[in-house]
Amino acid sequence: MPAAATFAAAFAALYVAHSVGDHWVQTSHQSATKGLPGWIGRLADARHAATLTATKLAVLLPVAALLGLKLSALGLVAGMSVDALTHWWADRRSTLAWLAKATGKTEFYNLGTANHPAHPVTADGKPAAHLGTGAYALDQSFHHLWLLVAALLVATV
């Protein structure tokens, strides 16, 4: 099978598995504590990255088997390692906030929060509920970039 087809199938599988692992498999505890300073946050984030990687492999490997994709062990290790490490890095939260600041995206990062100058408010002026934030959008787009890199590694190494 051509590398382009292997890449496309691997990316599709990893993209779906990412969404499932990041939203359904991740525990509330991991979500609430992975951004905390110190070892409590680092370990919660490591557990999240581990279960997320396991979810991605649980989706990718059957897809590869059913489609007859030829994946190398080295490509799988390289792709999944890059993905897990970059996911862990971004999910420490302060790191992604730093990247947003360094790239001039702080205002967008704060979109949907009380820190944004135009945050949504209720009729009595309190912060209003909303769907999503700029931080979440930047988090997911960062992860999608690295899913692409992971799929390229899986398909070509």
Q: How far apart are CA 137 and CA 142, in angstroms?
A: 9
pLDDT of residue 50: 98
Contact (CB, 8 A) for 3 and 128: no
CA distance linking residue 87 with residue 98, whole number of Å: 15
DSSP H helices in 27-123: 28-33, 38-67, 73-91, 94-102, 106-109
The rounded average pLDDT for each run of 10 residues, N- to C-terminus, in the chain (157 residues) is: 94 98 97 96 98 98 97 98 98 95 92 69 70 87 98 97
pLDDT at 115: 67
Which tens digit of pLDDT belongs to each residue from 79-101? 999 999 999 999 999 999 999 99
Q: According to the model, what pLDDT value does residue 108 have?
A: 86
In angstroms, the CA 78 to CA 104 distance is: 31
Instruction: Give the pLDDT confidence score for residue 100 in this predicted structure.
Output: 96
Q: Where are the domains of the chain?
A: 3-156
Q: How far apart are CA 55 and CA 73, in angstroms?
A: 17
pLDDT at 130: 64
Nearest residue to 157 (alpha-carbon basis) of 81, 76, 56: 76
Give the whole-angstrom CA distance, residue 89 versus residue 96.
8
The single-letter DSSP state of residue 100 is H
**Residue 46 tokens, joined:** 């490591």
Q: What is the pLDDT of residue 134?
A: 86
